[in-house]
């Protein structure tokens, strides 16, 4: 019983405190991989401790029932009703209620998760199919991707993503570029986006979107969105959805910057964001004046700043260490609590 | 699908087949099953005309395109499709900040 309560208490505490702890560490994208790992571990830690707590409360309830019914029967037969028996009955009732309530909550959350993920997958597939059907093929095909230097991901996955993803153009004056997973996936560019991008910038955009598909980022996004729908109002899950999205963007930025250089990528970001053509040469060696983007809360300005001002290796190491520490703490807490309590 | 949109009106499998045969070798049944698939998926409407079906596009290319863009632009709306935008929608202050950076970069000697 103590174990179950301790684990539930930890789950609640982590669900409310972990976002406050992790958000400042992962915000700037200093250590993208460690940041993603930390958010995923936090969610796994909370879910695992909740599941184990439910299991413990059931085990306690099941173990105590025979003794209690025996005592009750004896008291009915002999008429000797001691306060001890009442206390036992009360305690037993509490454990049983806890087990039933937590199980019901878990079942509801599971249903919401499944519902959300399934609906989201159906709509994503439909969108990809419609985009492939309606869009024009990009002139020059995937030739733009030919300039991409091999990154550090497996060549097999890269080749697979490139073969599968189909790049299409939709006629719309608003500049936009996105990828949508499906069978096969689609990378969608609007004619408005093509109008403001030059060839290297277009390659950078395509490399960014291919990196999303090759890394399977849509699966992470679907997972976090599903969990946020399963546990509405729980800060950890709502926050993780936003932060994981930011981090996957930054990770795709890194892949695109490796392949096509930072200037082309930054110019492409600015061009699509503002809707005006931007020369990549102006970006070369540029530095953002400190604080120019400080007011911005959204990922795009942060991403631009991050690409223009790479952090020093000492800073990266510091952030990576802090994240590793947080990760270890989150991973170790549930088993430690189980053993101690 | 593009062929049917280009046609504008109602077409039969025979029309499309004749058109495609001029460009490459293709079996009549391939065209037929493709169009049947499109009907099943809700892209084409059909009505019986004697022994054959006459197919029409359910919506124009522009309508589908507009629908896709609506879905893509309003991520917070009723759609739950997972789209990874290169640049997400921004509010006024954020795009103003970006424009300021752009102006600074442009103004550099």
Going from the N-terminus, what domains does chain B have, and what CATH number goes with each? 2-57 (1.10.10.10), 61-107 (no CATH)
pLDDT at B42: 80
pLDDT > 70: what percent of chain B? 72
pLDDT above 90 as % of chain B: 0
The tokens for B14 are: 């025979």
Q: What is the mean pLDDT of residues A314-335?
A: 86
pLDDT for A75-87, tens place per residue? Answer: 777 666 677 777 7
Higher pLDDT, A67 or B31: B31
Residues in A closer than 8 angstroms to B77, CB to CB, are none
Nearest chain A alpha carbon to B83: A180
Question: Tell me: the pLDDT tens digits for A240-273?
Answer: 988 888 888 888 888 988 888 888 888 888 888 8
Adjacency order of strands within the sheet including B83-85: A136-137, A166-170, A186-190, A177-180, B83-85
Q: What is the mean pLDDT of residues B84-107?
A: 69
Mean per-residue pLDDT, A313-336: 85
- Over the stretch A280-293, which tens digit does the pLDDT of each residue have? 766 655 555 444 44
Q: Find out whether the peptide bond into A184 is cis, omega within 30 degrees of 0.
A: yes
Residue B56 — φ and ψ, nearest 5°?
A: -135, 150
The predicted pLDDT at position A223 comes to: 92
Starting at the edge strand that comes first in sequence, how are the strands of the sheet with B11-12 ordered?
A: B11-12, B52-57, B44-49
Q: Do B88 and A299 touch (CB under 8 A)?
A: yes
Judge whether A201 is closer than 8 Å to chain B, CB to CB.
no
Whether B81 and A269 lie within 8 Å, measured CB to CB = no
pLDDT band of residue A59 (cuts 50, 70, 90) is confident
| Banded model confidence at residue A237, pLDDT cuts 50, 70, 90 | very high
Chain A within 8 Å of B105 (Cβ-Cβ)?
yes
B8 confidence band (pLDDT: 50, 70, 90): low
Q: Which residue of B has its CA nearest to A283?
A: B105
Chain A hits for B104, Cβ within 8 Å: 288-289, 292
> What integer pLDDT is reported at residue A297 of this predicted model?
41
pLDDT band at A139 (very low <50, low <70, confident <90, very high): low
Alpha carbon separation from B46 to B11, B39, B55 (Å, rounded): 9, 7, 4
Q: Which residues pair with A168 in a beta bridge?
A: A137, A188
Cβ(A25)–Cβ(A326) below 8 Å: yes
**Which chain A residue has its CA at the smallest distance from B38's CA?**
A133
> Nearest residue of B to residue A229 by CA position?
B80
Q: Which of residues 51-70 of B touch A (CB under 8 A)?
A: 61-62, 64-65, 67-69
| A247 Cβ under 8 Å from any chain B Cβ | no
Q: What's the pLDDT at B92?
A: 64
């Amino acid at each position: 019983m103590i174990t179950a309560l301790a684990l539930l208490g930890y789950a609640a505490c982590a669900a409310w405190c972990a976002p406050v702890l992790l958000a400042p560490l992962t915000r700037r994208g200093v250590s993208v991989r460690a940041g993603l790992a930390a958010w995923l571990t936090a969610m796994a830690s909370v879910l695992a401790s909740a599941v184990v707590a439910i299991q413990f409360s059931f085990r306690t309830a099941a173990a105590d029932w025979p003794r209690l019914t025996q005592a009750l029967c004896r008291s009915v037969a002999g008429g000797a009703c001691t306060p001890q028996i009442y206390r036992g009955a009360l305690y037993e009732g509490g454990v049983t209620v806890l087990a039933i309530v937590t199980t019901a909550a878990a079942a509801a959350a599971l249903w919401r998760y499944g519902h959300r993920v399934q609906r989201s997958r159906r709509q994503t597939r439909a969108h990809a199919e419609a985009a492939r059907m309606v869009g024009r093929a990009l002139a020059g095909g995937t030739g733009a991707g030919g300039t991409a230097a091999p990154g550090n991901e497996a060549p097999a996955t890269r080749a697979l993503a490139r073969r599968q993803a189909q790049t299409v153009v939709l006629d719309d004056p608003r500049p936009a570029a996105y990828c949508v997973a499906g069978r096969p996936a689609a990378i969608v560019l609007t004619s408005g986006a093509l109008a403001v991008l030059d060839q290297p910038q277009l390659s950078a955009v395509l490399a960014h979107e291919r990196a999303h598909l090759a890394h399977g980022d849509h699966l992470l996004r679907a997972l976090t969105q599903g969990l946020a729908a399963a546990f509405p109002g729980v800060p950890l899950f709502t926050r993780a959805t936003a932060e994981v999205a930011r981090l996957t963007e930054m990770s795709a930025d890194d892949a695109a910057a490796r392949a096509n250089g930072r200037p082309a990528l930054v110019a492409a970001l600015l061009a699509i964001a503002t809707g005006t053509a931007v020369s990549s040469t102006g970006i070369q060696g540029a530095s953002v004046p400190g604080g120019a983007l400080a007011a911005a809360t959204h990922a795009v300005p942060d991403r631009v700043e991050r690409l223009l001002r790479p952090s020093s290796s000492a800073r990266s190491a510091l952030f990576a260490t802090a994240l590793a520490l947080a990760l270890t703490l989150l991973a170790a807490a549930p088993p430690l609590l189980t053993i101690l309590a | 699908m593009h062929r049917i949109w280009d046609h504008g009106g109602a077409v039969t499998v025979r029309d499309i087949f004749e058109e495609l045969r001029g460009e490459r070798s293709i079996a009549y049944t391939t065209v037929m099953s493709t169009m049947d698939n499109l009907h099943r998926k809700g892209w084409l409407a059909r009505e019986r005309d004697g022994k054959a079906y006459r197919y029409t596009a359910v919506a124009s290319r522009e309508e589908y395109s507009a629908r896709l863009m609506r879905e893509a632009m309003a991520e917070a709306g009723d759609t739950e499709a997972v789209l990874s935008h290169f640049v997400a929608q921004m509010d006024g202050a954020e795009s103003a900040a970006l424009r300021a950076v752009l102006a600074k970069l442009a103004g550099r000697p």
